[in-house]
Structure 1
Amino acid sequence: MSKYTMFGQLKAHPGKRDELAKLMLESADTLEGMEGCIFYIINESVDDPDVLWIMELWENAEAHAASLKNERVLAVIQRCRPLIAGVSGVPVRPIGGKGL
């Protein structure tokens, strides 16, 4: 399967998670119609008040890489950057299941 999945974690500066989530949700339309993006879901952590988890599914790794060069995506990243204390991600390879 050529699909590409990323589980990303954004750690906001203390007390800034809601502001970061709001900015990201307002900007979610940036990915509408973006070639190769199947889903991009923003989640808030239940256990950590400063953490957001991002679930992404792309047609392939190249589509994901191309999205990070898109001017609109780069603008969203710039707007969010002052609120972010840390970023980590785990690329995984889907092997099957409902929705694929």
Structure 2
Amino acid sequence: MSIVVVGADHLGGIEKNLYSLGVTEITHVSARKSLTRSKLKLPKATALVLVLTDYVNHGTAAHVKFVAKAQDIPLVYAKRSWSSVEEKLNACHFFDVT
């Protein structure tokens, strides 16, 4: 399963925890530069888009939402902490997180 993470410069422990849940590929887009935001392309095999809200502005979040909806890819917003990411993934029942 492949996911795209948008936001933050470094994922820290989030990356390791996502791999432990069965994710096979993580594509990380820091979205710091406006060029990156405007040219955001989601791979066809993407199963989920995770937006780390602490590190993206409203314009970037809106663009990511537009692109994900156009490709019918589930979208999750969370803060950049594993507890927040885990809570949001539990809420959407995407992973069987315990």
TM range, normalised to the smaller chain?
0.3 to 0.5
Q: Which has the higher contact order (CA 8 A, sep 6+)?
A: 1
Q: Which structure has more helix as a fraction of its residues?
A: 2
Q: Which of the two has greater strand per residue?
A: 1
User: TM-score, normalising length from structure 2?
Assistant: 0.33
- Normalised to the residue count of structure 1, the TM-score between the two structures is 0.33
Return the index of the structure with the highest Cα Rg: 1
